[in-house]
Amino acid sequence: MKRVVFNQKGGVGKSTITCNLAALAASRGQRTLVIDLDPQGNTSHYLLGSVADAPTLTLADYYDQVLNFNLRPRQTREFACATPFVNLWVMPSHPRLEELGGKLESRYKIYKLKEALAELKDFDSIWIDTPPAFNFHTRSALIAADRCLIPFDCDTFSRQAIYSLLANVEEIRADHNRGLSVEGIVVNQYQARSNLPKRVVAELVAEGLPVLAHHLSPSIKVKESHEACRPLIHFLPEHKVTREYAALYAGLPE
Q: Which residues lie below 8 Å from residue 243, measured CB to CB, with a gap of 6+?
A: none
Q: Which of 33, 19, 129, 124 is nearest to 78 (CA)?
A: 33
Summarize pLDDT for 39-70 with one digit per residue, the tens: 999 999 999 998 767 778 999 999 999 998 76
| Whole-angstrom distance, CA of residue 212 vs CA of residue 248 | 8
Contact 141, 35 (CB under 8 A): yes
Summarize pLDDT for 150-169 with one digit per residue, the tens: 999 988 778 888 999 999 99
| Whole-angstrom distance, CA of residue 169 vs CA of residue 75 | 30
| Whole-angstrom distance, CA of residue 36 vs CA of residue 56 | 15
Helix axes 136-144, 97-106, angle to 10 degrees: 70
> Please, which residues bridge with residue 186 across strands?
151
Whole-structure pTM value: 0.96
One digit per residue, the tens of pLDDT, for the chain of length 254 reads 999 999 998 889 999 999 999 999 999 999 999 999 999 999 999 999 987 677 789 999 999 999 987 666 889 999 999 999 999 999 999 999 999 999 999 999 999 999 999 999 999 999 999 999 999 999 999 999 999 999 999 887 788 889 999 999 999 999 999 999 999 999 999 998 888 889 999 999 999 999 999 999 999 999 999 999 999 999 999 999 999 999 999 999 77
CATH of domain 9-250: 3.40.50.300
> Between the CA of residue 59 and those of 64, 85, 90, 101, 194, what are the distances in Å?
8, 20, 10, 11, 41
Core vs surface per residue 35-56: b (16+ CB within 10 A) or e:
bbbbbbbbbbbbbbeebbeebe
Contact 229, 202 (CB under 8 A): no
